[in-house]
Amino acid sequence: MAHAPQRFYLELEPPVEELRDKPHVVIVGGGFAGIKACKAFKGADVRVTLIDKRNFNLFQPLLYQVATGLVGLGDVATPLRLLVGAQRNVQVLLGEVSEIDAAAKQISFNNKTLAYDQLILATGSGSSYFGHEDWRGIAPPMKILEHASEIRRRLLMAMEQAEQTPDQGERNFLQTVVIVGGGPTGCELAGAVAELMCNAMAEDFKQMDLRATRIVLVDPGERLLRAMSPELSAAAAKHLQSAGVELLFQGRVKEIVPGEVLIGTPDGEVKIKAANVFWTAGVKASHLGKKLQEVTGCELDRGGRVIVKDDFSIANYPEIRVVGDLCSFNHTADGKPLPGMAGPATQMGGWVAKDIRAKLEGGSQAPFSFFDFGSMAVLGRINAVADLRGLKFAGGAGWALWALAHLAFMPDDENRITLLVKWLWAILTQQRSDLIITGLPSQHVGLEGSDAPFPMGQGQQPSFAALDSTLEKAIENFKAGASGSSPVEGTAA
Ligand SMILES: Cc1cc2nc3c(=O)[nH]c(=O)nc-3n(C[C@H](O)[C@H](O)[C@H](O)COP(=O)(O)OP(=O)(O)OC[C@H]3O[C@@H](n4cnc5c(N)ncnc54)[C@H](O)[C@@H]3O)c2cc1C
């Protein structure tokens, strides 16, 4: 295997001298796939550079718990250096890869170029609004840590506002949440929001009747969790409905403005006035897939995922592998691409690293075959549905399996212990402590004197307790549309 010539990081800072001339593997993305690949190179005769635009690995499956105050930001994120920094042949660099020069075998980040012998792209996916980018600010997605804390902030700000609003109609509006998308993320968020607003905070707000809380889960299909069996979908629907979540099937969002969602259904349009709308409906691959297509002509699927060969490489570039959510791997028994989930991403990352090792050592390994453990979704404090290779569980048993699986997947021991303690505490007390409103940087201008971290604009009335512009606009729209104190609408027109 020929080696690329450039060795810039070793010239600057050789971490281990004997690795200087070893093949250089660059891994872009320290998520499920990237970290697994990195660890699988432990002890190998290669030097590895892991580049990520964040300095932490994010456990996305628990973001909904951050969004609803059950756990804190640091409980679901682990610094990359803590995970692989001590590995002798790994160097971690913070940077956002923006360009790929496949002919020169180089990538660019932070205005630097870095050469590779082997490149593993594992930059995951983001959210898609199907061409309605203007909805993003009004109805945030839940993909990164900041989204989860923003959802938490918006939920709590609406509750605080409701507590000091005398008008019942306006209070109902502030207590209404619409969640778009009935997949695992939407179901988990809906269940957790119901738990937070109807149970966990039941005694904390004196003015509000928390039973008046309205949570609507909208999905274009005819059932929730379509990747699972109809039986588990029905169990999930039953539990969510008993927790107070309204399910709106065959609903397609047609418009979102602050304070209002317009949904098309077979029976006509439904307009829901809601202070908060959250979006869990669409996924699109990281933009590096498009970049790779521009320079290599590789094929992308409709979601922007790179269609890979059976060894995760692309045509004419055996040294470039694409794994995790960024790839579309359809070398499966039924020809269907593997789903964008943590399990496939982890297994792909590990297999690719082993394949590179085997080839460097002059050997080969068995073709990739995905071992499907199954899927699960948590719906309440001790309620989940799980389908483990045909064995179906719902309720408390489903939750126990869900908890075990998530703790096993969590890459860091400290977080594993913290999560277990917080979950058990929440089960016993129904309390949650991560309900801190930290706000947007623009709201931090209320600090006095030289402590103010951001300059104040002229005429601004800064305050930690200020409503952000979306909620302010939502309330404004609600007041303009509401005659007197009319109740929240939500019926088919
Ligand atoms: C809310 C939510 C809940 C989920 N729940 C589940 C679940 O219950 N079970 C399940 O199996 N799956 C679940 N998933 C899906 C699962 O999290 C993903 O499939 C998995 O994270 C994909 O792993 P990955 O390594 O491909 O990408 P990621 O884990 O997303 O990692 C990508 C990494 O690349 C970095 N990156 C991106 N672009 C660049 C760039 N240009 N330069 C440098 N670094 C970059 C990012 O910072 C990130 O660290 C959930 C996802 C979400 C959003």
Please work out whether the CB of residue 78 comes within 6 Å of at least one atom of ligand 1: no
Residue 260 lies in a domain: yes
Listing DSSP states for 379-448 in one string gives: EETTEEEEEETTEEEEEHHHHHHHHHHHHHH-S-HHHHHHHHHHHHHHHHH-----------GGGGGGS-
Last residue of a domain, one of 429, 448, 472: 429
Output 449 or 394, whichever has higher pLDDT.
394
- Say whether 195 is catalytic: no
In contact, 290 and 300? CB cutoff 8 Å: yes
In-domain check, residue 475: no
What lies within 8 Å, CB to CB, of 433 at 6+ separation is 69
d(CA 120, CA 91): 15
Pair 183, 277 in one domain: yes
Residues 344 and 395 in one domain: no
pLDDT averaged over every residue in the chain: 88
> What is the C-alpha separation between 321 and 25, in angstroms, rounded?
11
CATH of the domain at 415: 3.50.50.100
- Residue pLDDT, tens place only, 58-71: 999 999 999 999 99
Burial class (CB in 10 A: 0-12, 13-18, 19+), 399: buried
For residue 264, report the phi and psi dihedrals to the nearest 5 degrees: -90, 130
Per-residue pLDDT of 9-22, as tens digits, reads 545 455 567 787 89
443 lies in some domain: no
- For ligand 1, the distance from its centroid to the CA atom of residue 323, given in whole angstroms, is 11
Say yes or no: CB of residue 37 within 6 Å of ligand 1.
Answer: no
Q: In whole angstroms, give the CA distance from residue 455 to residue 438.
A: 18
pLDDT of residue 482: 64
Q: What is the per-residue pLDDT for 471?
A: 86
**Domain presence at residue 446:** no
Q: 181 and 259 in one domain?
A: yes
The rounded distance, in Å, linking the Cα atoms of 460 and 401 is 51
Give the distance (Å) from ligand 1 centre to CA of residue 233. Answer: 24
Do both 328 and 304 map to the same domain?
yes
What pLDDT, on the 0 to 100 scale, is given for residue 213?
94
Among candidate residues 13, 96, 146, 188, the one labeled active-site is 188
Q: Which domain holds residue 115?
A: 8-53+95-127+284-360
Q: Which of 412, 429, 446 is the last residue of a domain?
A: 429
Q: Are 271 and 392 found together in one domain?
A: yes
314-366: per-residue pLDDT in tens?
A: 999 999 999 999 999 999 999 999 999 999 999 999 999 999 999 999 998 99
Do 300 and 353 sit in the same domain of this protein? yes
Q: Which atom of ligand 1 is nearest to the CA of 283?
A: 53
Q: Residue 125: beta bridge partners?
A: 285
Q: What is the 3-state secondary structure (H, E, C) of 276-343?
A: EEEECCCEEECCHHHHHHHHHCCCECCCCCEECCCCCEECCEEEEEECHHHEECCCCCCCCCCCCCHH
321: left (phi over 0), alpha (psi -120 to 50) or beta: beta
Contacts of 159 (CB under 8 A, 6+ apart): 174, 175, 197, 201, 205, 208
**Ligand 1 near 490 CB (within 6 A):** no
Cβ–Cβ contacts within 10 Å for residue 449, how many?
Answer: 5
pLDDT tens digits, residue range 435-472? 998 765 454 444 444 444 444 444 444 455 667 778 88
- Asked whether residue 27 is assigned to any structural domain, the reply reads yes
Verify that 162 and 262 share a domain, yes or no: yes
> 276 and 233: one domain?
yes
The answer to whether residue 447 is domain-embedded is no
Spatial CA neighbour of 465 closest among 436, 439, 435:
439
Report the relative pairing of strands 276-279 and 176-180 from DSSP bridges: parallel
Pocket of ligand 1 contains residue 387 by CB under 6 Å: no
Q: Residue 135: name the closest of 181, 185, 193 by CA.
A: 181
The answer to whether the CB of 102 falls within 8 A of the CB of 1 is no
Q: How confident is the model at residue 209 (pLDDT cuts 50, 70, 90)?
A: confident
Best residue among 108, 123, 150, 404 to mutate for probing ligand 1, ranked by most atoms within 8 Å of CB: 123
Pick the last residue of a domain from 360, 388, 419: 360
Residues 265 and 312 in one domain: no
245-262: pLDDT as tens digits: 999 999 999 999 999 999
For 200, the token pair is 């966990």
Q: Residues 171, 267: one domain?
A: yes
State the pTM of this model: 0.91
In this structure, the answer to whether residues 31 and 146 fall within a common structural domain is no
Task: Report the separation in Å between the CA atom of 31 and the middle of ligand 1, taken as the mean of its atom positions.
Answer: 6
Q: What six digits make up the tokens of 37?
A: 């690949």
**Residue 186: CB within 6 Å of ligand 1?**
no
| H helix intervals, 184-229 | 184-194
CB proximity list for 81: less than 8 A, separation 6 or greater: 55, 92
Ligand 1 atom with the shortest distance to the CA of 340? 19
Measure the CA–CA gap between 484 and 124, rounded to whole angstroms.
48
Alpha carbons within 13 angstroms on the beta-carbon side of residue 260 total 17
CATH number at residue 322: 3.50.50.60
State how many domains the chain has.
2
Contact 427, 70 (CB under 8 A): no
Q: Is 340 in the pocket of ligand 1 (CB under 6 A)?
A: yes
**Are residues 137 and 46 part of one domain?**
no
Pocket test for ligand 1, best of 93, 284, 341 (most atoms within 8 A of CB): 341
On whether residue 289 sits in a domain, the answer given is yes
Asked if residue 261 belongs to a domain, the reply is yes
Lowest mean pLDDT among 131-140, 277-286, 442-451: 442-451
Ligand 1 atom at minimum distance from 29 CA: 34
